Amino acid sequence: MNQGWLKPFAPFVQGLFMLACLTVVLIGLYLAAPLVNQVLLALFLAVMLDPLISRLAQRGVPRILSSLLVIALLLLLIVIIILSLSASAPDLIQLSRQAPGLVVARLQTLTQSLDQMGMVFTSDELMNFVDTGAVVRMVTTQLSLIPGMLSWWVMVFLMQLFMLYELPMFKTALYASERHPRLLSALEEGVQSVAIYVRVKTLAGLLGGIIVWAAASLLGLKFAFLWGVLMFILNYVPVLGSFLAAIPMVIQTFILFDAKISLLVAGFFVVLNLSLSNVFEPLMLGKRLNMSITAQLLAFLFWQALLGITGAILAIPLTFLLKKVWLALRQPAS
């Protein structure tokens, strides 16, 4: 990067200027988050699906036709999930409104145990720690957004279609250029590592979602499919994802059964999370990304604050790619 015009200034002034530029860029990304999220998702999906499309093209299937077929299948899957979630929305809203009263009834046993320990609490006092009205409003708001998700995903897949079709031409033009060869090499290595990471996370999330769906169905819980979908989506969120997915199911079992069953469900999620994140994913990934848990957590907090749930899902890939690009740019020219 050519920063020669900054050299006459003091290091403090240079750092202040760079910080101001970074702040302007971050504010722009934050304000443009709805559009940026769609473009990022379309780009990452295109990169993930490009090997499959290229393999079909080698077997004589036109690239535009194979791209349309894959996108149509993905869109059909999204439609089925959205329709299933929309069908369960009224019952889930009703449960969220009834939950505070049901939780109060379940807390009677807890208050009696606390009384024996010398701590006097009523159920209402315990419920004051939770803003139940806010919980109901949050659930209702999120569920009301489900029907509009279809048009959002249609735009994502439309952008993805053009990206998949033009990706080979973009690669050819990029590699034909002799400028920044080190940057191109780092970017290619980063994209390959991220592609493997996302595939492994997708497989782990799919496995975890099926296990949660089956476990919820065996317990006779309503919304078992929803809890499985939630596990699949939140598995992309680093460190905290599967624990966040456990909260609704633990609360539901506490309402329907008792504290012992809810504790068993919480333990089940802990074991599942440890199995997926500490056994399955490391075996498949090895040390490809080489990011510590602290770095993953900080990346999650930063990108979630900047881009919302999409940023939380793409936190690790975005951070790793930026790291590879930054290291390539900082290397002295040979």
- pLDDT tens per residue, range 5-16: 666 666 767 678
pLDDT(1) > 50: no
Confidence at residue 83, expressed as pLDDT on a 0 to 100 scale: 82
Check: CB of residue 296 under 8 Å from CB of residue 158.
Answer: no
Instruction: Specify the range with the lowest mean pLDDT, choosing from 90-99, 127-136, 273-282, 315-324.
Output: 127-136
Q: CB-based burial of residue 71 (10 Å sphere; 0-12 exposed, 13-18 middle, 19+ buried)? A: buried
Check: CB of residue 314 under 8 Å from CB of residue 296.
Answer: no
Give the C-alpha distances (Å, rounded to integers) separating 66 from 54, 59, 79, 193. Answer: 9, 11, 20, 24
pLDDT(96) > 80: no
Confidence at residue 188, expressed as pLDDT on a 0 to 100 scale: 78
Confidence at residue 146, expressed as pLDDT on a 0 to 100 scale: 67
Helix locations, the chain, DSSP H: 11-31, 33-58, 63-116, 123-127, 132-144, 149-176, 181-218, 224-234, 241-256, 259-275, 281-285, 293-307, 309-313, 315-330
Count the alpha carbons within 13 Å of 185 in the hemisphere toward its beta carbon. Answer: 9
Confidence at residue 180, expressed as pLDDT on a 0 to 100 scale: 65
pLDDT digits (tens, 9 = 90+) for 99-138: 666 666 666 666 666 666 666 556 555 555 555 555 556 6
**pTM metric for this prediction:** 0.78
- Residue given tokens 């659930």 in the structure block: 139
* Average pLDDT of every residue of the chain: 79
- The mean pLDDT value for 203-215 works out to 92
Instruction: Specify the range with the lowest mean pLDDT, choosing from 8-22, 34-48, 136-150, 250-264.
Output: 136-150
- Token output for 142: 């999120």
Check: CB of residue 37 under 8 Å from CB of residue 303.
Answer: no
pLDDT winner (highest mean) among 5-9, 90-94, 139-143: 90-94
Report d(CA 198, CA 204) in Å as an integer.
10
